[in-house]
Amino acid sequence: MATVHLTVPISEAAIRSLHVGDTVYLSGVIVTGRDAAHKYMVETFIRSPQIPERERPLYEELRRLLTGSAIYHCGPVVRRREDGRWEFVAAGPTTSIREEPYQADVIAHFGLRGVIGKGGMGQRTLEACQKYGAAYLHAVGGAATLIADTVKEVLTVYKKDEFGVPEAFWVIRVENLPLVVTMDSHGRSVHEEVRMISEGRLRQLVGIPI
């Protein structure tokens, strides 16, 4: 298991060099996005026959921001400073499996290299990581304040008024955000391995043949 420092934009080669269990310290500009953000990207941009003109500027900006970068499943607690700028008070990860219906399409369309969250994701996301060169990076749940310390700057926010603070696209600059690779681009998922081991053990306990 290796310790790797990655800076956005992240190359495909850098992601392909990662394996489950590696520690990653991530720096650079990333974007937060949860349920509303993923549903919006898929329905408005990816599966829509035509992007509405009023949404096109944000589409182009998201393409610029997400290509070679990471999306963070996070509903931050924020506050506004006296100078009018935002800052993160807490930035813990959200359970990622809720984005499983959307994540593979977002990886493919926007050229994501990293998906950050907690709890892991499913087979479609794992296959997209393998096909397009991405990785799932597990953030520590319960460390929201410590993670917020790695957010050095809030650059801007999109859709805050429409989606609300937790669901908005927050564009942030992080420095040495600590993460662990739990799904890699080689088809391995520690979450699936744990599920299979747990299921096998449960079957043993209740007397069901494996």
The catalytic residues are 38
Spatial separation of the C-alpha atoms in residues 13 and 25, rounded to whole Å? 17
Rounded to whole angstroms, what are the CA distances from 16 to 41, 131, 206?
26, 11, 40
Longest CA–CA span in the chain (Å) reads: 64
SS3 154: strand
Q: What are phi and psi of 149, to 5 degrees?
A: -65, -25
Residue 91's contacts (CB-CB under 8 Å, 6 or more residues apart) are 72, 74, 76, 77, 144, 147, 148, 150, 151
Q: How far apart are CA 102 and CA 99, in angstroms?
A: 5
Whole-number Å distance between alpha carbons of 193 and 102 = 23
d(CA 112, CA 138): 16
Q: Is there a contact between 174 and 27 (Cβ–Cβ < 8 Å)?
A: yes
